[in-house]
Amino acid sequence: MTQSRSLFVRWVFLISVTAAIVAGVFWNRDRLMSLLRPTGAAKLAEHPPQPISEAKVLKLSEQARKNLGLVSKPAKPQTYWRTIQVPGAITDRPGKSDRGVTSPVVGVVTQVHAFPGDTVHPGDRLFTLRLISEYIQNTQSELFKATKESQLISEEKVRIETLAKTGTVPGSKLIELNQQLRRQLAAIQGYRQDLLTRGLNPGQIEGVTEGQFVASIEVFAPPALPATGSANSSESKQEQLVDDATTSLAYEVQDLKVDLGTQVQAGQLLSVLANHHSLYIAGHAFKQDAPFLEKAAQNAWPINVEFSEDDHVYWPTLNQTFHIRHLSNSIDVESRTFDFFIPLTNQSRGYEQDGRTFVVWRFRPGQRARLHVPVEELKDVIVLPAAAVVREGPEAYVFRQNGDLFNRLPVHVLHEDRLNVVIANDGSVTPGLYLAQSSAASLNRVLKAQAASGMRADVHVHADGTTHAPH
């Protein structure tokens, strides 16, 4: 009996414990289910999300935008000139940039006063030549003889005039002396002019009339070119140093054609002087571009010029509007291009060294340039930098910034070049929206990476695996 009662107590206890466990599980079933349910991260690991079919929004932190150097500006319609790009180079302007210095007589170079790189002004000595020309020596001799002969005739004329008054000498003798005197004066005038053209100055010629013959002459830098009277003010000015501190005309000795002891002939080139104040920008275009260039020249449309290797930081602002002056009517047989020419007013500055002035020019012949020639006016369009648009096949996209979010918007590209992209104002981009001005390709790569992860940039994921749109 005692054994049966003990067994009964055990069964009652076991049933009570089991009931208590069942009741505890029932009342705490929600907490136990949350512990058994996998987390959001576990879910992502067990079931990787599928890529978003068409991603349009990406999210960038402030630090990421700074790393990309991202700047957004409002879109605004404007007028834009479609242009064609033509390569070009800076060249000397014939008749203005270079001046040749020639020998006026036959002689031997005994001194060279200016060397390549030196700066000279009109009237500065360049060469000293020892005369070996028989013609110049004979001309000086004839001038001296004619001068002395005219003096003798003048003295004879005075004596004859006194005798003619008394009737001792006939008046015809006086008339004959007057004729001889006029012939001698005419010859003297001719000899003087001849010697002037040969490089002798008036003081030297006066010395010749006194018997002081010239054995050597000086060759000087030529005077300034006269103003052309062109409507373009930059062309009407004489060549000069642009530096405000130096306003006088200056040449640079560009090339020396003779050495000491060289015998030169009359008219032989001695040196070449250069003044790069007035230059040309020569564009090299193909024949199919001729109608565009002709129209731009006729309408005096301004040409945008990009100078390669131009250190604009250390030079004054170039306040000059470029226009096509003329088009060449011949085609280069090798490159199959024809040239057109744009006047360029150069800038320069000088410095002193060893008592000499040297000139540095901003633009130099041979320097390359890129010319943007306007061909068509596009009105009511939106213009963006080239880096603000990214292409995917036939599609083109821009990115609109809204805080940390960037929306990708499809656009219609009307024209693009190396610097700008012109998109149609067709409603795809509303004027006033802030558009990223650069790094469109980088933004597009980030957008694709976020899309591949399966997580939208504008959706938050909580620890319990739930998601919702931003507040």
Query: Please, which pLDDT band fits residue 9 given cuts at 50, 70 and 90?
Result: low
Q: Quick one: 133 and 191 in the same domain?
A: yes
Instruction: Please return the burial class of 404, using the count of CB atoms within 10 Å of its CB with bins 0-12, 13-18 and 19+.
Output: middle
Q: Quick one: 237 and 288 in the same domain?
A: no
Per DSSP, which regions of 48-77 are E strands?
57-59, 72-74
Whether the Cβ atoms of residue 139 and residue 195 lie closer than 8 Å to each other: yes
The pLDDT score that the predictor gives to residue 325 is: 95
> Would you say residue 49 lies in a domain?
no
The pLDDT score that the predictor gives to residue 352 is: 83
3-class DSSP state of 32: helix
Q: Quick one: 118 and 240 in the same domain?
A: yes
The tokens of 440 are what? Answer: 């469109």
Q: Quick one: 156 and 117 in the same domain?
A: yes
Query: Please, which pLDDT band fits residue 180 given cuts at 50, 70 and 90?
Result: confident
User: Distance between alpha carbon 50 and the CA centroid of its chain, in Å?
Assistant: 53
Per-residue pLDDT reduced to its tens digit, 151-177: 888 888 888 777 777 766 776 778 888
| Cα 259 to Cα 446: distance, rounded to the nearest angstrom | 70
The pLDDT score that the predictor gives to residue 4 is: 63
The pLDDT score that the predictor gives to residue 385 is: 94
Query: Please, which pLDDT band fits residue 465 given cuts at 50, 70 and 90?
Result: very low
**Percent residues over pLDDT 90 in the chain:** 37
The pLDDT score that the predictor gives to residue 245 is: 39
Q: Quick one: 383 and 349 in the same domain?
A: no
Range of the domain at 451: 57-80+378-468
Lowest mean pLDDT among 31-35, 91-95, 110-114, 129-133: 31-35
Lowest mean pLDDT among 189-203, 264-278, 323-337: 189-203
CA distances 59 to 301, 404, 433, 466, 470, Å, are 45, 6, 17, 20, 12
Per-residue pLDDT reduced to its tens digit, 213-262: 888 889 999 887 665 444 444 444 444 444 443 445 788 899 999 999 99
**How many domains does the chain divide into?**
4
> Would you say residue 285 lies in a domain?
yes
> Would you say residue 351 lies in a domain?
yes
Report DSSP state, residue 94. Answer: T
Q: Quick one: 394 and 367 in the same domain?
A: no
Q: What's this model's pTM, rounded to 2 decimal places?
A: 0.65
Choose among 306, 360, 272, 350: nearest CA to 94.
272
Q: Quick one: 66 and 147 in the same domain?
A: no
Per-residue pLDDT reduced to its tens digit, 344-389: 999 988 888 887 778 889 999 999 999 999 998 899 999 999 999 9
Location of structure tokens 């009307």: 414
The pLDDT score that the predictor gives to residue 321 is: 93
Whether the Cβ atoms of residue 91 and residue 367 lie closer than 8 Å to each other: no
The pLDDT score that the predictor gives to residue 460 is: 43
Per-residue pLDDT reduced to its tens digit, 54-101: 667 888 888 988 898 889 999 999 999 888 899 999 999 988 888 899
Q: Quick one: 105 and 231 in the same domain?
A: yes
CA distances 197 to 103, 190, 210, Å, are 11, 11, 20
Q: Quick one: 385 and 433 in the same domain?
A: yes
CATH number of the domain at 347, please: 2.40.30.170
Work out the average pLDDT over 110-138. 90
Per-residue pLDDT reduced to its tens digit, 291-322: 999 999 999 999 999 998 888 788 988 899 99
Residue 45 has pLDDT above 70, yes or no: no
Higher per-residue confidence, 95 vs 3: 95
> Would you say residue 114 lies in a domain?
yes
Work out the average pLDDT over 107-117. 93
Query: Please, which pLDDT band fits residue 15 given cuts at 50, 70 and 90?
Result: confident
Distance in Å from the first CA to the final CA of the chain: 74
Residue 146 has pLDDT above 60, yes or no: yes
Residue 188 has pLDDT above 70, yes or no: yes
The pLDDT score that the predictor gives to residue 451 is: 75
Q: Quick one: 383 and 430 in the same domain?
A: yes
The pLDDT score that the predictor gives to residue 463 is: 35
Q: What is the mean pLDDT of the chain?
A: 82
